[in-house]
A and B are shown apart, each in its own frame.
Chain A
Amino acid sequence: MSNLEEKIDEAKKLSMQIVKDTEDDRLMTLSVGPQHPGSGHFRFVIKLDGDYIVNVDPDPGYVHRGHEKMCEYRNYFQNLPQLERPALHDSSNILYSYCLAVEDLVGIHVPRRGQFIRAIASELDRLVYTQYWLAIYGIFLGHSTMFMWPAGDRELIIDLFERFSGHRVTHCFSIPGGVRNDFPYNFKEKCLTQVNYFEKRLKEYEHIFYNNPLFRQRTEGVGILPKEDAIKLGVTGSVLRASGVPYDIRKVEPYDIYDEIDFKVQHMKTCDSFARSYIPYLDMVESCHIIRQLLDKMPESGDVRVKLQGNMKGPPGESFKRVESGRGALGYHIVSDGASRPYRVKISTPSFRNLIALSYLLVGSKLGDMPSIYWSLNYWPIEADR
C-alpha cells in the first residue's frame, strides 16, 4: 500500500532529524519521560542551554486507548463505564457532559431532584480532584507535608461517595436520564459535617502552603501567560481564569439547576504560576458554598431518573454540550444516525486544550521552574490522550 510506504519514509525522516539535533554540542536533550517522578504518564523532550529551556516537544500518547473509537461499538448506556476512565477521579464531571449531550439529542428532561443530585456529585468530584492535584503539586515542589494533608482529607469526600454510589472513585453514577439511585436517608447531615470540617482544613492549607515564602518565591512571576495569548491559544479552566478572563461555564451557559445557585467566578489578573495554583483552591472554597446551597434547595423527595430503554435508538442529529469540570471546559460532540450506537463521539478535554500552553510557557524559562509551570497547567495525561 503506497500509504504504508509513505508512512515508513516519514518515520525514517523523523528519526534522522532527532539524530541530527543531538549533534549540536551546546544544547543538551533531556527526555522528561514517562518513567519520571516529575511528569506522570507523559513525555516531553526538552533541549537545554545550560539551565534555560530552548525547545519543548510534547509527546503524549502513552495512555491512548481509543475511547472515541470504542464508543462506536457500544450503545449509549454501555459507553458509560468506559467513558469515565479518562478522568478517573473526576468521573462525575466527564459523565455529566455525556449525559447532557445524550439528553439533548434524545430530547428528555431530567426530574428536579435528579438534577440536584447530579450537581452535588459534580461539586464533590471537583473537591476530590483538586485535592489530588494539590497533593501532587506538593510532591513536585518537594513539600512532603503538602502531599500528605490533601491526600488524607480527600478520604473524607471519597467516603461520602461510597455512601451513595458504592464506589470510591469511578462511580458511573450520572447516567442519561438522571442518576442511578437516590441518596441514602441521612446523607444530608453527613455531607454537611464533612464539608464543614473540610472548610476548616482548607484554611490550614493556606498557612502552610500558599503563605509559605518559599512557595511564593518559586511561583510568583514564573510562567506568565498574558491575557491576549491565553485567549488566542484557547486555554480553559483555571489557566484562563488566572489570566484575567472570568469565564466559567456554570455561569456563562448554566446547565441543569446552576442558574439558581449563587456563587462567584474566581479570577486573578496576575497571569503567573501562583495565580494558576491559587485559583483551584479558591474554587474549592466556592464549591463548599455551592454544596451547602444545593443541599438546602434540594426537593425532599421525587423521582431521580427518567427510565430510558437500555438499547435506545438515538434520533438522527448532533449535539454539543459542555460542562465545567475540575480542570476546565469538557465538551462532548455526539453525532447520531438513528442507530442504537452513536455514529461519532468527540470528547474535547481541557487537558488537551491546555497542552498548547505548555510549549509556549516553558520555552525561555529555567529548568527549575519546570515542575511549577507544568503542574500549574492542570494537565492530566490520561484525559488528554483518551
Chain B
Amino acid sequence: MGSITPDFRFGNLVGSIIQLVLVILAIVTVLILPMIFFALFFVPLPVVNGQVLTPYLFFSMVVDPSRTLPIVKFLMHTALFKAAIFPGFLFASLIAAATIFIERKLLAKMQLRVGPLYAGKVEGIFQLLADGLKLISKEIIVPSGADKPIFWLAPVMFVSTSAAVVSLIPVAYGWVVADLDVGLIAAFALLGFFPLIALLYSWASNSKYPFLGGLRALHQMIAFEIPFFLSALPVVILSGSLNLTEIARSQNIFWNIFVMPINAFVFYISSLAELERIPFDLPEAESEIVAGWLTETSGMIFGLIQLGSYLKLYALSALFVILFLGGWYGPQIFPHELIPGASSSNISLLKIIALDGLYNAVTVNSIFWFTIKTFGIILLMLITRGVNPRIRIDILLHTGWYKLIVLTFINLFVVLTLIYGGILGPGGIILPK
C-alpha cells in the first residue's frame, strides 16, 4: 500500500473493460460452449413435452419460461450436480474459503490487529483469491532424492480423501452425494486413511524434519481415532442405524447432545486432534521441527493440502452437527412459497421469479439451519486456536489413550441405562417420528 497509483483516465478504464469483455467472449466461444455441448451429449436429458431433449433443444428452451424450471430442477437432481456443486465439492470449498477468511479476521481481532485489509474493497475480502493466485504461480521444489511418484500423488490423495468424507454428509433430507447404509463406518474408514498419507508424504520428502513430523502425525492421529469411534457409538445405539440421514432424522424431538454431552466433548477434542489444529498441531510444530511433514510443500502442493485441511474441517464439523446437534432440524422460518399465490397463477414470469417447483421450503430451511450450526462449531474450533499454546507429544498421547477413552465409556453406560430403562431408543417412551 505504499505505492503511488497512476493518474486515473476514463478512456483507459473504458478500454480495459472492453478488452476484458472481448477476452471473456473469446474464451466462452472457443472453450466453454464446446465443453458444455460435449458434456450435454453425455448427461441424460429428460423428456419434455413428448420430445427427447437434445442439447440444441436445451438452448432454445432457456427462453421459454414454462420449460426452463423443470429442466433446471431435473439437472439439480442429477448425480453430477450433487457431487460437484451442491452439497459436494463447490459448496464445501466455498465454506472452506469462508472459514479461512473468518479465521484470519477473528484471530486478528483477538490479537489486537486487523487481519487482511487491502485485497478487495471491503475489509480484504478477496485476500483468499489473491493467495490462491499466488500459490498457483509459485515453483514447486522437489527435494533431491525424494520419491517422486508419492511426492506428487500424496497431496492429491489428501484432497480426494477429504472430498470423499465430504460426500457422505447429508445437508438436508435427500441431499447427499453418497447415501450409504453404513455411512458412519465409511466416514471413519476414510478418516483412518489420513495418517497413512502423512507418513507416506513425510517419507517421500527425504529429509529429517518431515520425518519427525510424519511420525508425530502418525502417533497423534492413530491415538485419537479410538475415542473418535467410541464417542459415536451411543448415537448408533440410540438411532438404530448407521446411515447418516437416518441418524439425523432420529433427532427431530430432541438433540443427542442433551443425552450425551461428555461424548460430544470427546468427539470435539478428537476432531481437533484429527485436524491437526492448535492445540494439537504438533506435526507442524513450527519452532521445533520447522514445519513438520509439510516442510517440503511449496506452491500448489501447499495450496492443495490447505484446501484438503479445511475441507476436512468442514466435514468433521458437519459430522458433529449430524451426530449430536440434530442435523438440519430447526424452526421453520422460510415461507411456504416465495411469492404467495404464484404456483396457482398463470403468469409464467411470476412462476419463474417465485421459483415454482424448484423452491421447497423445508429443504431451504434445512440447509439454512445446517449451515448455521456447522458455522457455530467451526467458530468454536477457531476460537480455541487463539487462546492456547501447543501441547507436548507425550501429554497428547496420554490424553488420547487413557483419559478420553474412559470418558466415552462413562457416557456409554448412561445411554445404555436409559435405553434398557425403556425411555429412549426404539421401543421406548420417547420415540422419534
Contacts and interface: CB of A to CB of B under 8 A. Distances in A.
21 contacts: A28-B208, A30-B208, A37-B287, A37-B290, A38-B286, A139-B287, A141-B389, A142-B287, A142-B390, A144-B278, A145-B110, A145-B111, A145-B387, A148-B111, A212-B388, A217-B391, A218-B390, A366-B392, A366-B394, A368-B282, A368-B394
Contacts of A146: 389
A367 interface: yes
B389 A138 contact: yes
A14 interface: no
Interface residues of A, number: 31
Nearest to B393: A368
A371 B391 contact: no
B395 interface: yes
Interface of A: 28, 30, 36-38, 51, 138-149, 152, 208, 212, 214-215, 217-218, 366-371
Given A37-B287, A141-B287, A368-B394, 18 more contacts: A139-B286, A140-B287, A141-B389, A142-B278, A143-B388, A143-B390, A144-B386, A147-B111, A148-B113, A152-B113, A217-B392, A218-B389, A218-B392, A366-B394, A367-B212, A367-B288, A369-B392, A371-B287
Interface in B238-287: 278-279, 281-282, 285-287
Nearest to B391: A214
A212 B390 CA distance: 11
A369 B395 CA distance: 12
Contact of A142 (B110, B281, B290): B281
A51 B212 CA distance: 9
Nearest to B107: A144
A149 B107 CA distance: 12
B288 A371 contact: yes
Contacts of A149: 111-112
Contact of B386 (A139, A145, A367, A368): A145
Interface hub of B286, B287, B395 (most chain A Cβ within 10 A)? B287
Nearest to B390: A142
B112 A142 contact: no
A269 B286 CA distance: 31
B388 A37 contact: no
A139 to B, nearest CB: 6
B42 to A, nearest CB: 49
Interface of B: 107, 110-113, 208, 212, 278-279, 281-282, 285-288, 290, 385-395
A38 B392 contact: no
A142 B208 contact: no
A152 B108 CA distance: 12
Given A149-B112, A152-B112, A51 B393 contact: yes
Contacts of B390: 141-143, 214, 218
A315 B323 CA distance: 84
Contacts of B386: 144-145
A138 B278 CA distance: 13
B65 to A, nearest CB: 54
Contacts of B387: 145, 208, 212
Contacts of A217: 391-392, 395
Contact of B288 (A38, A138, A152, A212): A38
Contacts of A38: 286-288, 290
A122 B86 CA distance: 63
Contacts of B112: 148-149, 152
Contacts of B290: 36-38
A142 B392 contact: no
B294 to A, nearest CB: 13
A140 B279 CA distance: 13
Contacts of A138: 389
Contacts of A215: 389
A212 B287 contact: no
Contacts of B285: 142
A140 B286 CA distance: 8
Contacts of B111: 144-145, 147-149, 152
Contact of A370 (B107, B278, B288, B385): B288
Q: Lowest 6 A-B CB distances belong to which pairs?
A: A142-B390, A148-B111, A143-B389, A38-B287, A141-B389, A140-B287
Contacts of A148: 111-113
B113 A214 contact: no
A218 B208 contact: no
Nearest to B281: A142
Contacts of B113: 148, 152
A300 B281 CA distance: 55
Contacts of A147: 111
Nearest to B279: A214
A148 B112 CA distance: 7
A368 B395 CA distance: 10
A315 B299 CA distance: 64
Nearest to B385: A144
